[in-house]
């Protein structure tokens, strides 16, 4: 599923984010930025020690913020690390923090000359965010951002499994 919004291609694909040939991939990181499980662990393993070394110099990252490092051995030049919220019940700022992850990642991308960026489903793994809500927030935030900012050629949601891909595809279909 793909749509063009203000000159930016926005799409969802099923695949492995560590294989994306884009300027930057986004890492759903923890606050330390020193690696973890899920997408975070996969990115650190595939990108090699250069990513961890760069992360050590960043002094962590707050929930909802984003920081950039080298992509190491990844096809992507950069990794934008963002810390998603742990889902409790949706009434503790989780929607705003999740939206901030996407917005801050795109701001960091533009600040660093990134034209193409790939996102995972932030907070949808061990952080427990309900998938349909997370997809709606992700698509709405990205759509709003590209309507208000120029400079991005492609924003791609890369979903590891068919269920998440289907949910993101449906969310994109609503804005298409």
Radius of gyration of the chain (CA): 14
Q: Which residues pair with 34 in a beta bridge?
A: none
| Crossing angle for the helix pair 49-56 and 38-47, to the nearest 10 degrees | 110
Q: What is the number of H-type helices and E-type strands within the chain?
A: 5, 7
Concerning whether 65 is annotated as a catalytic residue, the answer is no
C-alpha neighbours within 13 Å on the C-beta side of residue 7: 7
Q: Which residues pair with 11 in a beta bridge?
A: 2, 156
Q: Which of 40, 62, 89, 173 is catalytic?
A: 40
Report, as residue numbers or ranges, the catalytic residues: 40
């Amino acid at each position: 599923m793909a749509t063009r919004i203000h000159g930016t291609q926005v799409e969802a694909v099923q695949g492995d984010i560590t294989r994306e040939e884009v300027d930057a991939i986004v890492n759903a990181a923890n606050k330390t930025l020193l690696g973890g499980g899920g997408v975070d662990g996969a990115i650190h393993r595939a990108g090699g020690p250069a990513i961890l070394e760069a992360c050590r110099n960043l002094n962590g990252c707050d929930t909802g913020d984003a920081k950039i490092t080298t992509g190491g051995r990844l096809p992507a030049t950069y990794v934008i690390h963002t810390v998603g919220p742990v889902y409790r019940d949706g009434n503790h700022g989780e929607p705003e923090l999740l939206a901030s992850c996407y917005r801050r990642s795109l701001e960091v991308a533009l600040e660093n000359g990134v034209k193409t960026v790939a996102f995972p489903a932030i907070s949808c793994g061990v952080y427990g965010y309900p998938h349909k809500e997370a997809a709606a927030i992700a698509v709405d935030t990205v759509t709003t951002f590209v309507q208000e900012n120029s400079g991005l050629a492609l924003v791609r949601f890369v979903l590891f499994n068919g269920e998440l891909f289907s949910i993101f595809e449906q969310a994109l279909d609503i804005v298409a």
